[in-house]
Amino acid sequence: MIAILKTSMTVEQKQEIKSQNDKIIAEKGYRVNSWLPILEDPAPRSIEEIKGRVSVMTALINIAFKAPTHIIKNWIEKNDLTRHLSKSESEILSKDNRKLNELEIESLLWYLESLWGLLWVLKMIDNLEAEIHVGDNLVTLVPNLQLNENNDKIAQQQHLQTELDIYIMLDYYYRLHWYCVNERLPGRQAKLNEGLIYERRKALEWVFDKQSDWDNIGMST
């Protein structure tokens, strides 16, 4: 176990995290990029920001399953969550369902995986296995808008994973994302679902990227 008591990590500590993740990835039979750089120091967002993002994503996912946009918008406003919406999300809520395009619907469907990543950050689930899609128990963890539930299931959460654990998980998904891209570009088939890896990584990157909103998270490999 790597002992880190403060947010700032030494290069040696970050290099050790990289090495440990590379070993795990290689043992699973995925390609490893030994020169992929180490990540910067963690500086996580507040728990209120994270709960706000989880809440609006929970609501917006319902639109992908035919929920009327005006009902979802009303729920978000009623629960005082409007400030957590990104520009693209606000634009979706300004439209009638019939005017939503295929890309918008697909992006909301993928929210399932990024939401799963953030539920892990909030310690609402125990594991974030890269080989396993979102769990069937998701519906029990978040508000059911069809039943007109309020946002208490999320708002009452008071705990986050440690900065170290989030950093390690982000580093892991960053390196898995490189593997997926590196397989796809020459036409090989990755052993992982790249969409799942991308969305989980984006969620974890967002937690540490205070300067960018949800629409503009850097995802280079």
Identify the pLDDT of residue 186: 94
- When pLDDT is averaged across residues 4-33 and rounded to a whole number, the result is 88
pLDDT of residue 5 exceeding 70: no
Identify the pLDDT of residue 42: 83
Identify the pLDDT of residue 97: 97
Identify the pLDDT of residue 1: 33
Identify the pLDDT of residue 43: 85
Distance of alpha carbon 167 from alpha carbon 161, whole angstroms:
10
pLDDT of residue 57 exceeding 80: yes
pLDDT of residue 4 exceeding 50: no
pLDDT in tens, 69-110: 999 999 999 999 999 999 999 999 999 999 999 999 999 999
Q: Which of 6-10, 87-91, 127-131 has the lowest mean pLDDT?
A: 6-10
Structure tokens at 158: 């008071």
pLDDT bracket for residue 221 (50, 70, 90): confident
Identify the pLDDT of residue 7: 56
Q: Could you tell me what percent of the chain has a pLDDT over 90?
A: 92
Helices and strands: H and E segment counts in the chain: 9, 0
pLDDT in tens, 132-168: 999 999 999 999 999 999 999 999 999 999 999 999 9
Higher pLDDT, 175 or 221: 175
Q: What is the dihedral of CA 201, 204, 208, 209, to 10 degrees?
A: 50
Identify the pLDDT of residue 3: 35
- When pLDDT is averaged across residues 46-62 and rounded to a whole number, the result is 98
Asked if 181 and 195 count as a contact pair (C-beta separation under 8 A), the reply is no
Nearest CA-CA partner of 206 in 60, 56, 101: 56
**Whole-angstrom distance between the N-terminal and C-terminal Cα of the chain?**
26
Nearest CA-CA partner of 53 in 74, 84, 76: 84
Identify the pLDDT of residue 8: 75
Asked if 180 and 194 count as a contact pair (C-beta separation under 8 A), the reply is yes
pLDDT in tens, 164-213: 999 999 999 999 999 999 999 999 999 999 999 999 999 999 999 999 99
Identify the pLDDT of residue 41: 84
